Amino acid sequence: MVKSLKTFLKHTAKDYHNQSVNPPVVRASTIIFKSMQDIRKTQNKAKKDPTGGHFDYGRQGTSTTHVLQKILTQMEECHHVFLTPTGFGSVFLAIFSVVRPGDEIFVVDPVYNPTRLLTQDFLKEFNIKTIFYNPHDLKTLEKKINKKSKLIFVENPGSNSFEFQDLGKIVSIAKKHKLLTAIDNTWGTPYFLKPMKLGFDMSIVSATKYYSGHSDVMGGSLAVNKKVFKQVQATDKVTGLRLSPDDAYLITRGLRTLDVRLDKHEQNAKKVAGFLSKYKNIKLLYPYKKDSLNFRMWKKYYSGASGLMGLRIKSKNKNSVIKFVNSLKLFGYGYSWGGFESLALHQESREQGNRKYLNLTKDEHLVRLHIGLEDPKDLIDDLRTSLKHIK
């Protein structure tokens, strides 16, 4: 029996019927049957085994999407995985499946800004209150829990500012007060962190990022336990959040090398972090400094680190920071991350959302780096040359 995830990813989902290493792409809107009796048999199978891939209409998926669901379910060690057209679609599905008018939810303050807008503004119109909590002050979070509290939504580490939280403590608080929990685990993926084993009810990964690994696919996954499965299944059915078979195929293909790529991303990122840590005007937002709270929280729960990091740069000249970014030759400029290539992005304060606990001074600037699979020596040389522009 294969126990290693590395081996599992190389050998899973081979198609011996078609004699292909990767499963074929099956596209379908109408799924045809030989008779009405066959339709009813499939529908009855779906009722008895709702995770078994028994489809009677293309919106539910095809064999191609079902293969990906089975792979991710084993990776996450969960009850089932739902697939969505984007990573943010999985955020939406998780939240809207379990909250109702009159509920209150807790969301970590350094959350992905679209998630902030969804919870802070959109949910407000449905009489659902969002309370943003300090990632390093869980005592205050617990004090604010009341009868209306329903969900704690975590993103770890924090978006762009990379705060690592005490995940076990969050789960403990939630179970004590009978709250549900969801985590955006895109940074670590279940290769470095398995939230379901920690006790989370839902785990989100943007498949756009490391799962795909090649910056040409959009997709999301939502892993769930038995407790919330029926709620999520009902919401998934009425919202029609369907991942295309073509994208599912590309994500499955990308997963074959997830371990190799993430290991290399981590190796490269650690070398770059070691170089950047020598600059006094840069605070490195990455689990590198061993005496820091972030490092301890990362080490406590993760088996490794991905290639995404932040730089908190101190400079009275904002334009010089932008010039530093613009002068990079091996880093592309663009949103998203998780592909094979390195990326750099200067972060405007508006892109962080209306945060309460970021506490950036006017002379501090955020730059996000995704460390790709290039030769780290070349990346370091590029950074060294460009950092000279910061005044």
What is the structure's pLDDT at 174?
A: 98
Task: Map out the domains of the chain as residue ranges.
Answer: 5-255, 258-387
Q: Classify domain 258-387 at the CATH class level.
A: alpha beta
Tell me whether strands 220-224 and 80-84 are parallel, antiparallel or unpaired: antiparallel
pLDDT in tens, 116-131: 999 999 999 999 999 9
Q: Name the residue type at position 379.
A: L
Neighbours of 378 (CB within 10 A): 12
How would you class 18 by CB atoms within 10 Å of its CB: exposed for 0-12, middle for 13-18, buried for 19 or more?
A: exposed
Secondary structure element (H or E) that encloses residue 155, with its range: strand 149-155
How far is CA 89 from each of CA 189, 232, 384, rounded to the nearest angstrom? 17, 13, 38
Mean of the pLDDT values across residues 6-12?
Answer: 89
Contact 60, 240 (CB under 8 A): no
Neighbours of 3 (CB within 10 A): 6
CATH 3.30.2130.10 fits 5-255, yes or no: no
Do the domains spanning 5-255 and 258-387 agree at the CATH topology level? no
Place of tokens 């840069």: 282
Can you point out the beta strands (E) in 251-377?
282-285, 308-314, 332-333, 343-347, 364-370
Mean of the pLDDT values across residues 48-52?
Answer: 91
Contact 228, 98 (CB under 8 A): yes
Q: Per-residue confidence at 2, pLDDT binned at 50, 70, 90?
A: low
What is the structure's pLDDT at 1?
A: 46
- For the cut 80, the answer to whether the pLDDT of residue 313 exceeds it is yes
Q: State the chain's mean pLDDT as an integer.
A: 95
